[in-house]
Amino acid sequence: NNDLILVDTLVAPEFEYNLLSVSKFCRDNNCLAIFGATCCLLQDCNTGKVKGLGEFKNGLYHLVNSPVEEMSSELRCDGHKLLEQLTKMQHGCLGFAGLANKKTDYALWHQRLGHAPESKLKHIDAISASHKGKEVCLTCPMAKFAKLPYDISTSCASHCFDLIHIDIWGAYRVPARGNFRYFLTIVDDHSRATWVYLLQYKSQAFAVLQKFWNYVHTHFGKAI
């Protein structure tokens, strides 16, 4: 189910339960098994998607043999709470790691803090004082350009959604939470209203645009 594969299975007809080697299953399917008090879940390491949920009954975790969307709301709620607890624990570990004495990379914190200059970052003891000889930031000099590489357009659409501008950016080397590496930007030429959609894959752009067309038609009664 959900592209999960069992390798080297052993048939034991007289045995009442189907037992699963968690470590081998995770290696074969490149996933994580997370256990809580009332349920367990299987999460894809690449996409972060929950591939399966198990319910705790009589001392065992019973894997539900149906898509996650069709499971009971109670079980899905338990799985969601388990993911929330895991996220809080991860944030706590990151916060603790930030207190360590180890000097962290200048370039990383330069980007995290909105491309802060070296004159500011050198006052933070946990950050390496200098970036000499290291990778040069490409964004900073471009942001200082006084003239755009193209002329500013003076035309403007007469009504909302008569003209829209669409752009896809990515793939970024560090994924956002949810394994998003792209984002799709839609700008209405008349109102300058902007919509941003996160994408895991570039191929998802067409489906997102279709949903946006339907959204505009339903909420604003307009056709693009």
Secondary structure (3-state) at 168: strand
Beta carbons within 10 angstroms of residue 167's beta carbon:
9
pLDDT bracket for residue 101 (50, 70, 90): very low
Parent domain of 121: 106-143
* pLDDT one-digit tens code per residue, 32-56: 888 888 888 888 888 778 888 888 8
Last residue of one domain, picked from the residues 38, 72, 96: 96
Which of 47-51, 66-70, 88-92: highest mean pLDDT?
Answer: 47-51
Q: Is residue 5 assigned to a domain?
A: no
User: Is 15 within a domain?
Assistant: no
Q: How much is the mean pLDDT over the chain? A: 80
User: Which tokens in the block code for residue 67?
Assistant: 């898509």
Name every residue whose Cβ is closer than 8 Å to that of residue 32 and which is 6 or more positions away in sequence: 26, 42, 43, 45
Please indicate, yes or no, whether residues 27 and 83 belong to a single structural domain of this protein.
Answer: yes
Residue 160 pLDDT > 60: yes
Closest CA to 30 of 19, 21, 20, 42: 42
What is the percent of the chain where pLDDT is above 90? 19
Q: Can you give the pLDDT at residue 136?
A: 63
Determine the residue type at 58.
N
Are 139 and 171 within one domain?
no
Looking at the structure, do residues 168 and 203 belong to the same domain, yes or no?
A: yes
Residue 131 has pLDDT above 80, yes or no: no
Q: Give 103's contacts (C-beta < 8 A, 6+ positions apart).
A: 126, 127, 128
| 27 and 92 assigned to the same domain | yes
Q: Which of 94-98, 117-121, 159-163 is predicted most confidently?
A: 159-163
pLDDT band at 97 (very low <50, low <70, confident <90, very high): very low
pLDDT surpassing 50 at residue 182: yes
Between residues 110 and 222, which one has the greater pLDDT? 222
Identify whether 50 is part of a domain: yes
User: Between the ranges 63-77, 78-92, 122-136, where is the mean pLDDT highest?
Assistant: 63-77
Instruction: Give ∠ CA 202-170-185 in degrees, rounded to 5.
Output: 80
Label residue 166 by pLDDT band (50, 70, 90).
very high
